Amino acid sequence: MATLTPPASATTASSGIERHGLSDEALLDMYRTMLRIRRFEERVKELFLEARLYGSVHLYIGEEAVATGACTALRDGDVISSTHRGHGHCIAKGLELAPMMAELMGKATGYNHGKGGSMHIASLDHGMLGANGIVAAGIPISTGAALGFWVRGSEEVAVCFFGDGGANHGSFHEGINFAATLKLPAVFVCENNQYAQYHPVQQDLPIENVADRSVAYGIPGVIVDGSDVLAVYGAAKTAVDRARAGEGPTLIEAKTYRFEGHFLGDPEPYRTKEEVAQARASRDPLVRFGAILQQLGVATADRLQAIDAEVKDEVEAAVEFGEESPEPGAELLLTDIYTGADPDGRDAPRSRSETDA
Amino acid sequence: MATLTPPASATTASSGIERHGLSDEALLDMYRTMLRIRRFEERVKELFLEARLYGSVHLYIGEEAVATGACTALRDGDVISSTHRGHGHCIAKGLELAPMMAELMGKATGYNHGKGGSMHIASLDHGMLGANGIVAAGIPISTGAALGFWVRGSEEVAVCFFGDGGANHGSFHEGINFAATLKLPAVFVCENNQYAQYHPVQQDLPIENVADRSVAYGIPGVIVDGSDVLAVYGAAKTAVDRARAGEGPTLIEAKTYRFEGHFLGDPEPYRTKEEVAQARASRDPLVRFGAILQQLGVATADRLQAIDAEVKDEVEAAVEFGEESPEPGAELLLTDIYTGADPDGRDAPRSRSETDA
Amino acid sequence: MPEVTYSQALNMALREEMQRDERVFCLGEDIKDSTYGVTRGLYEEFGAKRVVGTPISEAAIGGAALGSAAVGMRPVAEFMYMTFMMCAMDQMVNQAAKMKYMFGGKAVLPIVYRTMAGAGRANAAQHTQDLASWFSHVPGMKVVMPTTAYDAKGLLKTAIRDDNPVVFVENKVLYATAKEDVPDTDYTVPFGKASVRREGKDVTIVGLQRMVETALEAADELAEAGIEAEVIDPRTLVPLDIETIANSVKKTHRVVVVHEAHERVGFGAEVIAQVVTHAFDYLDAPPARVANPNVPTPFSRTLEELSIPSAGQVVAAVRALVA
Amino acid sequence: MPEVTYSQALNMALREEMQRDERVFCLGEDIKDSTYGVTRGLYEEFGAKRVVGTPISEAAIGGAALGSAAVGMRPVAEFMYMTFMMCAMDQMVNQAAKMKYMFGGKAVLPIVYRTMAGAGRANAAQHTQDLASWFSHVPGMKVVMPTTAYDAKGLLKTAIRDDNPVVFVENKVLYATAKEDVPDTDYTVPFGKASVRREGKDVTIVGLQRMVETALEAADELAEAGIEAEVIDPRTLVPLDIETIANSVKKTHRVVVVHEAHERVGFGAEVIAQVVTHAFDYLDAPPARVANPNVPTPFSRTLEELSIPSAGQVVAAVRALVA
Ligand SMILES: Cc1ncc(C[n+]2csc(CCOP(=O)(O)OP(=O)(O)O)c2C)c(N)n1
Ligand SMILES: Cc1ncc(C[n+]2csc(CCOP(=O)(O)OP(=O)(O)O)c2C)c(N)n1
Ligand SMILES: [Mg+2]
Ligand SMILES: [Mg+2]
C-alpha cells in the first residue's frame, strides 16, 4: 500500500485553512474515516485480484473527501442514498468494516446477509438507504426520504450522492425538481470524478459544470474541490443547515477524480496511465488532508502513521471476519422477499424477526 | 362562434411590426392557418357537446400562433412531434381537415383509420410524427428523428412541441441533453400555456421560465410571446436555420394561454372565469394578427371576414365528410399490429399495401 | 348502509386510513381536483402535506413513495393511468420490489401504488393497457384488482396496512358503474381470498374486474342452455387463491379465464399453468382463455368494443369445452 | 469456418449488416469500448455517426431509436443490462410497439433493442433479471433469445432486417461459453422456427438460452435411466413456434418448460397455456415448469446458484411426470 506522507507541494497547496470550527478530535475522525475508506478499498482490490472476493466492484479511491466531508455535516437520523460506488458512503455514514467486508464476500454475516453485495450494501439502522445498481436511481429515493421528513414535520435531512454520468439521467431531473418545488430537506451531491464508465464527462455533459444545472431548479449550486475534505464539509454544512431550516435543497458538485478503473477489471482504454499518475500525485485527498492536519498542529506525521496502523489492523480484522464467516445457507434463498406472509406460502421467520428487532 | 374583428386596443398593441421578410401571401397563409385551427377546434367542441364526437380531446384554442409560427419556418421533409393537444400542430404542418375530423370521429377514413383518435393523430407523409398520449414522450422521439437526419447527413430539422408540464418530466431532460451533446438538428418548443392539467405552472416549475433550463444544456433559450405569431416565427426561423446549419438545438418557450379547459369536460375548478375572460380579451392571437395584417395593409377587415367564411365552409365540409364516413370494419381490428407477417398468424394485407404505397 | 360507487368506496378507504394513521399520505398528479373522485375532498380535509400534488414526474413519484416508506411513512402514490407506470418501472420494480430482499430483509416498505386501467372509454392504446401481468411477474410485489365497491374499499384498506409494495389496479369503467351498499364503518377484505360470485357444477369461469360481469352474463346465458357455470373473482393476483380456483375446477372439470389484458403471457396463462399443476387429473377439457387478442386498444368505439372480451365469446369458449 | 464465441458472432452480424445497409447504425452507452465485445471495433470501422455513444439516458435511447426509425433509419440500440430497459419502457412499449397500430398501419419501424440478461455472474438483483415475458406480452413487439453462436449471428441479422421493433435478448454467460464454427458469410436464421436440440420420445423439455444446456444435461442423465427426452429451443418467443412444440408433445405426451426468468407469469406459463390448447388430449401428465422460484437474484454465488434451475431439478420434474 502506498504511504501517504505528504510531499512538500501539498503543504503549500493548503495555505489559509478554514477549519469550520471543527475540533481537533473531529478533524482526526475525518482523517481516520478517509483512511478507513482508502485502506478498505485497497484491500478489496487485492482480495478481488486474488479471487478471494467477487462481483461487480467499483472503488472509491481518490474520492474519500466527498463522502467524508458531506457525512461529517450530518446528525443521527439523517439519511443518505448512494450509488454503485458506495463503500465510501457506507464507511463515512458509520457502517462497520467487518459486516461490510462480509457482504462484499457474499457471506451470511454481511449487512445484507450476502444477498446484496457491493452494489446493494445498505444499513437502514445507520440511515444508509443503500448503494444502488442503477445510475441516478438514488435521487428520487432520497427525495422521497426528504418528502417523508417533510410530511412528518420532523427535522432530518436526506443527502444524495450520485455521479456526473447520473446527472444526465431523467431521474436526476425529476428527483431534484420534485424536491425543489416543495423545498424538501434534501442535499444533492454530485461526485464529478471526470468519467462515466468509459465516457469522459464532457462527452455527455454539454456544459462545464453539473452545478450549473441548479439554475433549472431555482436552488443554490455549489462547486467544491472534491479532494479538499474541509471545503466539502463547509459546502455540505451550509446546505444541510439550509435544508434543515426548511429553505430547500442544494446541488453540490464536488470535482474529484477516480484513481482506479470504473470497476475492478476495467482495462481503462479511455485514459492514459500518465493522466492517472498525475492525479494521484497532485490531488490525493488523504495526502492533502494529512498535510493540513500537520500544518494546523492537530497531528504529527507519527500520529497519522499510528492511525494508519490502527486502520490497517481494523481492515485486516474485517477481512478475517469476512473470510471466516459462513456462506448463507440454502434456507435463506427464499426468505426476505416479503414482509409477513409470503404469497407463495413460503415463510420468512428469520427476516421478519430481524425486522421487528 | 366569436367574431374576430380586432378591438382598438389590439391595434396599438402591434406597433413596430417585424414581418421577417414574409410576403403578403405568406402572411395571409399564416392567418388562414390560425383560423383553420380556431374554427376546427370550435367545431370539435360543439360536436363533442352534441355527442357527435367522443374521446379524450384537448383543444388548442388560444395557442394557434405557436404551431403556426413554428411550422411556417419549416421546409418539406422537416418533421414535428406533438402532444395530446395536437390538432393545431397537425393543421399547421399541412394535414387536411377532413381526414383529421374523421379520425377524431373514429372513422375508417381518418388519418389513422380511426385507430388513433385525437391523442394519436399522425401523418408521417406530412412529417407529422404524431400527437402523443404521454406527456413529454415526443421529446426523445424528435431527438431521434434529428439523430436520424444527423447520421444520414441530410438537411432536415425536427421540431418538438411540448407543454410546460412536460418540462418537468425525465424525458425532457434526457431528450434535450442527448440532442445537445451531439448538436443534433432539433428545435424544442415549449408551449407554456400557464397550466399543466389542474396545476398552475408555478406549482411544479420552481423557476420563472422553462427557457431558463437551456442553461442546463448549453443551448440557446428564447422566450417569445406565444400570442404573437410573427414573434414565434422569428424565433423559430432563427432556431431552425441554426439547427440546419449544424449548430445544434434551441429551446424556445412560447408564453401562451389555454382558453379552453384541459380536456373537453374539464370543470376548471383551478381558475376563475374572469381570468379566462381576461386572457381571451387581451391575448387572442387571431385578433392580434388580424389587426397587424390590417395595419400592414396586407388585408382589409372584409378580406379577413372572407377568409373566415371560406375556412368555416372548409370545416363544415370536414364535419360532413367525417359524419358520412363509415366506421372501421371489424376486419381492421387485427391489422396494422406488425409490418409483414403477424406472429399470431393474422395477416394485415391492407395495412401492408398501404405502407408500401 | 349508503349505496356508494366504486370510486366513492375507494375515497372512503383513503379517508378512513388517513384518519386512522397519520403516516398514511397520498401523492400524485392532480389529486387535489381528482378527475374520477377517488381522492376528492382529501386535500381540504388533510391539507397539502398529506395530499401532495406532484409535477408530471412518474419516476420521481415511484421513488418518492419508496424513499418515504424507507423512513417510516405509508405512502399511497397515484399513477393517473396504469400505462404511466411505464415511466416508473425502475423505481417500482428494480428498486421498491427488490429492496427488502437485496437488503437481507432489513427493510419494511408499506407502499401502495394506486392506478387505473381498463378499456371501454375510448382512451385509445396509450391510456388503456392493463399491465397487471407484468407486476405479477415481479417477486416482492403484490397485485390487487378489485371488482366491486365493497371489495374496493376493503382491499384498499388491506393494501394500505400491508407492509409491502402493492400495485392496486382500479378499473376506469367500474368507478361509476359498480355501485352497492358499502358500510361506512371500518372493515378489510383479505388478500389471497377469491370470491365465488356464482356457484355452478359444469364449468369454472375465472374473471378479473369488468370481466366478472361479463362472465356472469355468460353464465346466465349458459344456464338457459342447462350449463351451470361457477364464476370466480380472484380479487388479488399476488397472492393468488389457487386453492379456491383448483377446488372449483376439480368439481367442474373445466375452466375458462377471462381478462381484458392481452392474452399472450397475460395472467390467464399463469392461472392455467397453476390449474394444470393442481387439478390436471380432473380436467375434461383444455383450460381456455378469452382475452384481448394481442392488439393495442383502438380508439374507435366500434373497434374498441371488439377488442374487449364479450359474454358471447365466453359462452362460445365454454360451449367448445362442454361440447 | 472459424470457431467463434457468441459475442463474436453478434459482432460479425453487426459488422456485416452495417456494411450491407448504411441505414443501420448502433447507439448506446459505452459501446465504443464494448465490455463484452459485441460492438468492439465498430467505432473504428464505421465512425462516430454509425456507432453513437450516448449519455446515461435509457428513455432517450429508446425514443431516439424510435424517432430515427420513423425517418427511415434502422437503429440497433443497446441497453447494457436488460433491467435498464425499465427506464425506457414507455418509449419501447407505449410508443414504439404501439405506433404502427395507432397510426393505422402507416409506420414502418425497424428497430432492434439489444440487451443482455441472465444469472450466473454474481451481478445481483438489479443486473440479472430476464424480462422477456414482459415484452412477449406486448402486441407489436417481437422477442428473440438466441442460445448458440450460430443462431446469435443469424437471428441478429434477421432482427436487423425485420421491419418491426424487436427486443433481442443476449445472455451474459453464453457470450463467452457458447462457441462453435460460425460461417463468416451472410446467412440468417428465421424467426418463429424452433430448433430441436435433441430428439426423444418420452418427454419434451422446452428450454431458453442457458437452460437449453441444462435441459440437455438433464436429458443425458434421464437417458441413463431409459427416459428419452426431446429438447427444444424456441429461439424466438414472439413469434413462437408452437407447432414444433405441440407436435413434440403429441409424440412424448409430457412437457417441462425451463427458463431463468421468474416462474410466476413467466414465459413458461404461456407455453403451457398454448400446449394445453394444441395438445390437451395427448398429455399424460400435467405440463410442468422449472424456473427462478420467484425470487430476486441474490448476490452470493451459493445463493445465486440455488436460484438458477439445475439439471437435477429438471430431472426431478421429468421423473415426477413419468412416474
Ligand atoms: C440506468 C443505468 N444505466 C447504465 C448503467 C451502467 N453503469 C453503471 S455505472 C455507470 C457510469 C456511471 O457514471 P457516474 O454517474 O459518473 O458514476 P461513477 O461511476 O463515475 O462514480 C454506468 C453507465 C447503470 N448501472 N444504470
Ligand atoms: C407521462 C404522463 N403523465 C401524466 C399524463 C396525464 N396528463 C395528460 S396532459 C397533462 C398535463 C400536461 O400539461 P402540459 O405539459 O403543460 O401540456 P398542456 O396540457 O398544458 O398543453 C397530464 C398530467 C400523461 N398523459 N402522461
Ligand atoms: Mg463519474
Ligand atoms: Mg401547459
In three-state form (DSSP H/G/I as H, E/B as E, the rest C), the secondary structure along chain D is: CCEEEHHHHHHHHHHHHHHHCCCEEEEECCCCCCCCCCCCCHHHHHCCCCEEECCCCHHHHHHHHHHHHHCCCEEEEEECCHHHHHHCHHHHHHHHHHHHHHCCCCCCCCEEEEEEECCCCCCCHHHCCCCHHHHHCCCCCEEECCCCHHHHHHHHHHHHHCCCEEEEEEECCHHHHCEEECCCCCCCCCCCCCEEEECCCCEEEEECCHHHHHHHHHHHHHHHCCCCEEEEECCEEECCCHHHHHHHHHHHCCEEEEEEEECCCCHHHHHHHHHHHHHHHHCCCCCEEEEECCCCCCCCHHHHHHHCCCHHHHHHHHHHHHC
Report C:261-300 residues touching A (Cβ under 8 A): none
**Which helix (H) or strand (E) is C193 found in, with range?**
none
Ligand 1: which residue has its CA nearest to atom 20?
Answer: A196
Q: Do B141 and D91 touch (CB under 8 A)?
A: yes
Is the Cβ–Cβ distance between C267 and C237 less than 8 Å?
yes
C-beta atoms of D270 and C267 within 8 A:
no
Q: What is the mean pLDDT of chain C?
A: 98
Q: With 90 as the cut, is the pLDDT of residue A15 above it?
A: no
B85 lines ligand 2 (CB under 6 A): yes
**C255: how many CB neighbours lie within 10 A of its CB?**
30
Distance from CA of B150 to the nearest CA of A (A): 17
Query: B264 and B59 in contact (C-beta within 8 Å)?
Result: yes
pLDDT of residue B354 exceeding 90: no
pLDDT of residue B212: 98
Query: For a pLDDT cut of 90, what percent of chain B falls above it?
Result: 92
Cα B46 to middle of ligand 4, angstroms: 23
Q: Can you tell me the distance from the alpha carbon of A147 to that of C64, in angstroms, rounded to the nearest whole number?
A: 7
Closest to C252 measured CA to CA, from C272, C235, C228: C228
Greatest Cα pair distance, chain B, in angstroms, is 66
For the residues C131-149, what does the mean pLDDT come to? 98
Q: In this structure, are residues A104 and A110 in contact, taking their beta carbons and an 8 Å threshold?
A: yes
pLDDT of residue D191: 98
- Check if D59 has its Cβ closer than 6 Å to any atom of ligand 1: no
Mean pLDDT of A143-169: 98
Give the separation between CA D261 and CA C266, rounded to whole angstroms: 15
The three-class DSSP label of residue C290 is: strand
Ligand nearest to the CA of C116: 2
CA distance B313 to B317: 6
Task: Find the angle CA(B59)-CA(B61)-CA(B64) to the nearest 5 degrees.
Answer: 115
Instruction: For residue A163, count other CB atoms closer than 10 A to its CB.
Output: 28
E-strand ranges in chain B read 79-81, 158-163, 186-192, 195-196, 199-200, 221-225, 250-255
Q: What is the pLDDT of residue A348?
A: 42
Active site residue A58: no
Q: At what angle do helices C311-322 and C210-224 cross, to 10 degrees?
A: 50
Q: Which chain D residues are Cβ-neighbours of B340 within 8 angstroms?
A: 162-164
In this prediction, residue A354 carries a pLDDT of: 39
Q: Is A140 in the pocket of ligand 1 (CB under 6 A)?
A: no
Q: How far apart are CA B38 and CA B307, in angstroms?
A: 13
CB atoms B137 and D91 under 8 Å: yes
Q: Whose CA is closest to D242, among C269, C312, B137, A6?
A: C269
| Cβ-based burial of D41 (10 A; exposed 0-12, middle 13-18, buried ≥19) | middle
Q: Which of C196, C207, C201, C251 lies closest to C222, judged by CA?
A: C201
Looking at residue B13, its pLDDT comes to 38
| Residue among B32, B28, B76, B82 nearest B60 (CA) | B82
Hey, what amino acid is at B89?
H
Chain-centre distance for alpha carbon A327: 26
User: Among residues C16, C17, C58, C213, which one is catalytic?
Assistant: C58
CB within 8 Å of A268: residues ≥ 6 apart: A261, A262, A276
Task: Name the residue type at position B207.
Answer: I
pLDDT score, position A357? 32
Q: Which of A169, A177, A182, A215 to mutate to test the interface with B (most CBs of B within 10 A)?
A: A177
Q: How confident is the model at residue A355 (pLDDT cuts 50, 70, 90)?
A: very low
Model pLDDT for residues B249-292, shown as the tens digit of each residue? 999 999 999 999 999 999 999 999 999 999 999 999 999 999 99
Tell me how far apart the alpha carbons of residues A119 and A131 are, in angstroms, rounded to a whole number. Answer: 5
More confident residue, B354 or A41: A41
Average pLDDT over residues A259-279: 97
Backbone angles phi, psi at A128, to 5 degrees: -105, 105
- Is the CB of A41 within 6 Å of ligand 1? no
Distance from CA of C174 to the nearest CA of D (A): 24
State the pLDDT at residue A5: 55
List the grid coordinates of B317: 365540409
B226 lines ligand 2 (CB under 6 A): no
CB C23 within 8 A of CB A134: no
Whether residue B11 has pLDDT greater than 50:
no
Rounded to the nearest angstrom, the distance between the alpha carbon of B85 and the centre of ligand 2 is 9
Give, to the nearest 10 degrees, the angle between helix B24-49 and helix B64-72. Answer: 140
User: Cβ(B134) to ligand 2 under 6 A?
Assistant: yes
Distance CA D319, CA D222 (A): 8
Query: What proportion of chain C, given as a percentage, has pLDDT over 90?
Result: 98
**Residue range C5-59, pLDDT digits in tens:** 999 999 999 999 999 999 999 999 999 999 899 999 999 999 999 999 999 999 9
Given a cut of 70, is residue A299 above it in pLDDT?
yes
Q: What is the ipTM of this complex?
A: 0.97
pLDDT of residue A72: 98
Cell numbers linked to A124: 437502514
What backbone phi and psi angles, to 5 degrees, belong to C288? -125, 160
pLDDT at B15: 55
pTM: 0.97
pLDDT at residue B349, rounded to an integer:
40
| Cα(A251) to centroid(ligand 1), Å | 19
Residue C2 forms contact with A (CB below 8 Å): no
A31 is catalytic: no
DSSP SS3 for C164: coil
C-alpha distance across the termini of chain A, in Å: 40
Residue B9 has pLDDT above 50, yes or no: no
Residues of chain D below pLDDT 70 = none
Q: pLDDT tier at C272 (50, 70, 90 boundaries)?
A: very high
Q: What is the mean pLDDT of residues C138-152?
A: 98
Per residue in C204-240, pLDDT (tens digit) is 999 999 999 999 999 999 999 999 999 999 999 999 9
Check CB contact of C54 with chain B, cutoff 8 Å. yes
Q: Are C70 and A141 in contact (CB under 8 A)?
A: yes
Q: Is the pLDDT at C1 greater than 90, yes or no?
A: no
d(CA D57, CA D79): 10
Whether residue C75 is preceded by a cis peptide bond, meaning omega within 30 degrees of 0, is no
Ranking B21-25, B349-353, C254-258, D258-262 by mean pLDDT, the lowest is B349-353
Substitution target in C56, C265, C297 with the highest count of B β-carbons within 10 Å is C56
In angstroms, the separation between the Cα of residue C222 and the nearest Cα of chain A is 34
**How far apart (Å, rounded) are the C-alpha atoms in residues B288 and B311?**
18
